[in-house]
Amino acid sequence: MRDYPAPAAVNRVEAVPRRIRVVFGGQTIVDTTNAKYVWELPIYPAYYLPRGDFAEGVLVDEGKSHPSHRGTVQSFGVRVGERTAAGAARVLIEAAGPQLAGLVRLDWGAMDAWFEEDEQVFVHPRDPYTRVDALRSTRHVRVELDGIVLADSTSPVLVFETGLPTRYYLNRTDVDFTHLTPSQTVTACPYKGTTGGYWTATTGDRTHPDVAWTYTFPSRDLLPIAGLIAFYNERVDLLVDGELLERPKTHFS
């Protein structure tokens, strides 16, 4: 079940209206206002960056190329001083369409930092078609697992995120931590920030890893969820105003 459909089709290409900068080895290696969004997956795009906007000498030809459905792709390393990231750049030397000619796809994780304008972006580019809203509510939310009540609240904050099921964030005073144990799991979201904690549930002789999480310091647009606890709809029985919700198949916090 999806509360919102994922709107972008794979292989869609759109202009990025934001200034994009990438840092590697302590240096800004590309600074551009002419990037493209390319949807390699339906859930979020990748940045494709003009080769001409890279700092001189940063891209190192590795002498390898292969065909792809977007054109001929040549492999490049990224080098700044003594630091090198082998195969971290793919350059479309012969593109299937004019929108992609001469563009470079960088390995996100191999870079030190990415910026949209002057704000750092984490995990992957933010999808321009994704909207995330945090709304206070008085709906009655009850969380159960194996017949045990883990939380009961009439003051949740509902988070509506494109392509994901509604998440219900609950006050800590509405959560029964008797059956919850902190775990070491940490995840990050480009829209909400980095999680500040996860909990594993124990019900009798059964263990359910990482069923709940919190964002201690969320992004400014999601400040209403700061410190609140959410449970995976996929892993618990969630009743909203007395109605048991169907468990969705997605697994994103």
pLDDT in tens, 71-130: 788 999 999 999 999 999 998 877 666 778 889 999 999 999 999 999 999 999 999 989
Q: Does position 1 have pLDDT exceeding 50, yes or no?
A: no
For the segment 59-81, the average pLDDT, to the nearest whole number, is: 89
Max Cα distance, the chain (Å): 62
188: β partners = 194
Q: In what order do the strands lie in the sheet with 206-214?
A: 132-136, 157-161, 167-170, 229-231, 206-214, 197-203, 180-183
Q: In what order do the strands lie in the sheet with 27-32?
A: 27-32, 20-24, 113-116, 119-121
For residues 236 and 146, give the distance between their C-alpha atoms in angstroms, rounded to a whole number: 8
38: pLDDT confidence band, cut at 50, 70 and 90?
very high
